[in-house]
Amino acid sequence: MKYSAKIIGTGMYVPKRIITNKYLEKFIDTSDKWIQEKTGIKKRRVSEKGELGSDLSAKSAVEAIKNADLMPEDIELIILATTYPDMTTPATAAIVQKKIGAKNAAIFDIRNGCQGFLTGLITASKFISDSTYKNALIIGTTQHAKLFELTGWKDRTKAVFFGDGSGAVVLKRCETNKGILTIDMGNEKDKSHLINLPFGGMASFENPNAFEDPILGKPMEGKEVFNFATTNVPVSIKKTLEKIGKKLEDLDFIILHQANINIIKHIMNSLNLPMEKTYVNINKYANMAEASIPVALHEAIQAEKIKSGDLVALTGFGVGMGWATVVIKWG
């Protein structure tokens, strides 16, 4: 029998340490005014030394499980989306599993950048829809800012944009006309080089001189990324709605990846939807990559922006020039 999957609990965690734009002026040829105008970012959270992705993940996971009225041992599957695993192997999801006591869960990691959380959400929904599992924990975690601090805040094209954090959701089996209704995933070919972090990959060991920086990679092409996101995201959202016979005006709320306030505004304008139908927290957290969507979703729910019966779209986009959209009948 086929089922659908719905979100029954959300959670988040951000490090306590706050780094402002003013602070970054000491290290980078930039200004608080420029960063706010170009991105909407005022500050970001940065992990402490010794604070690993598994620590952030465990804290957001515990809150999501609690809000789902479950116990850690009830969780059957853990998927962790992160660009910064604690180590190459084992999967950081296994480390999180131990930290939270989810002894009965199968686990794996996903590395798909800013759309990684939604990749995990979509993957988990398929395991639930075919009855392999009754529930799943999906976590999105990033430590982008910590990387840039450890390397001296030297990459002006990337360092100011990112923050650390973790968000998590619990999915549970439900009737097919509820929960996740439809999805869309895609990738622009020949553009994966526009955002890259080569360190840790075999190519970076074999030929580190192939990159402008063996750790931080090439400078980020901001204009290209802006054009990519504002072109593909509206199309993806429309495509998912068409699959279920809905129109843009039927959407009650949208959670967009918090990459840049100007990208968010451009996308909402392209969809002819008011900013009141989305949620923005990039000003206080910056771009949290994999954590961006689950954290924004959690805060929007806490602020009662999303209610039972709402039609909600979640859209992530970024690394690899890819995107993912999920449309959910909430509640």
Residues 169 and 27 in one domain: yes
| Dist. CA 294–CA 274, nearest whole Å | 21
What pLDDT is stored for residue 192 in this prediction?
66
Residues 118 and 236 in one domain: no
What pLDDT is stored for residue 132 in this prediction?
96
Torsion sign over Cα 272, 278, 284, 290: negative
Residues 234 and 169 in one domain: no
Residues 165 and 238 in one domain: no
- For 117-148, b where at least 16 C-beta lie within 10 A, e where not — what string? bbbbbbbbbebbbeeebbbbbbbbbbbbbbbb
- Determine which one of 67, 114, 144, 298 is catalytic: 114
**End position of a domain, from candidates 154, 174, 194:** 174
Catalytic residue at 281? no
| ∠ Cα 281 249 244 (to 5°) | 100
The percent of the chain in helix, strand and coil, each rounded to the nearest 5, is 40, 25, 35
**End position of a domain, from candidates 174, 197, 212:** 174
Residues 57 and 108 in one domain: yes
Q: At residue 316, what is the residue type?
A: G
Residues 114 and 147 in one domain: yes
131-144 confidence digits (pLDDT tens): 999 999 999 999 99
- For 49-76, b where at least 16 C-beta lie within 10 A, e where not — what string? eebbbbbbbbbbbbbbbebbebebebbb
Catalytic residue at 174? no
Q: Which residues pair with 40 in a beta bridge?
A: none
What pLDDT is stored for residue 210 in this prediction?
66
Q: Cβ(95)–Cβ(86) under 8 Å?
A: yes
**End position of a domain, from candidates 174, 191, 226:** 174
Task: Show the tokens assigned to 3.
Answer: 């089922």
Residues 143 and 215 in one domain: no
Which residue, chain included where needed, has tokens 């604070």?
A: 51
Residues 203 and 166 in one domain: no
175-211 confidence digits (pLDDT tens): 888 999 999 999 987 766 667 777 778 777 787 776 6
Residue 149's alpha-carbon distances to 47, 88, 143, 183, 290, in angstroms, are: 10, 21, 10, 36, 19
Catalytic residue at 114? yes
Q: Cβ(68)–Cβ(100) under 8 Å?
A: no
| 144 contact partners, CB below 8 Å, separation of at least 6 | 83, 84, 158, 162, 163, 164, 287, 288, 289
Q: What is the CATH number of the domain that holds 105?
A: 3.40.47.10
Residue from 98, 141, 106, 142 nearest 124 by CA: 106
Q: Render 58-124 in DSSP notation, one character per residue.
A: HHHHHHHHHHTT--GGG--EEEEEESS-SSSSS-HHHHHHHHHT-TT-EEEEE--GGGHHHHHHHHH
- Determine which one of 21, 112, 174, 257 is catalytic: 257
Residues 282 and 298 in one domain: yes
Task: Report helix, strand or coil for 14.
Answer: coil
Task: Report helix, strand or coil for 31.
Answer: coil
Residues 138 and 193 in one domain: no
5-39 confidence digits (pLDDT tens): 999 999 999 999 999 999 999 999 999 999 999 99
Q: At residue 330, what is the residue type?
A: W
Structurally, the chain folds into a number of domains equal to 2
Q: Cβ(162)–Cβ(145) under 8 Å?
A: yes
Task: Report helix, strand or coil for 19.
Answer: strand
Q: Which residues of the chain have pLDDT under 70?
A: 1, 191-194, 210-211, 214, 218-221
Residues 114 and 249 in one domain: no
**Domain containing residue 96:** 4-174
What pLDDT is stored for residue 52 in this prediction?
98
Residue from 158, 144, 87, 95 nearest 116 by CA: 144
Q: Cβ(277)–Cβ(252) under 8 Å?
A: yes
- In the 8-state DSSP scheme, what is residue 243? H
What pLDDT is stored for residue 1 in this prediction?
63
Residues 245 and 154 in one domain: no
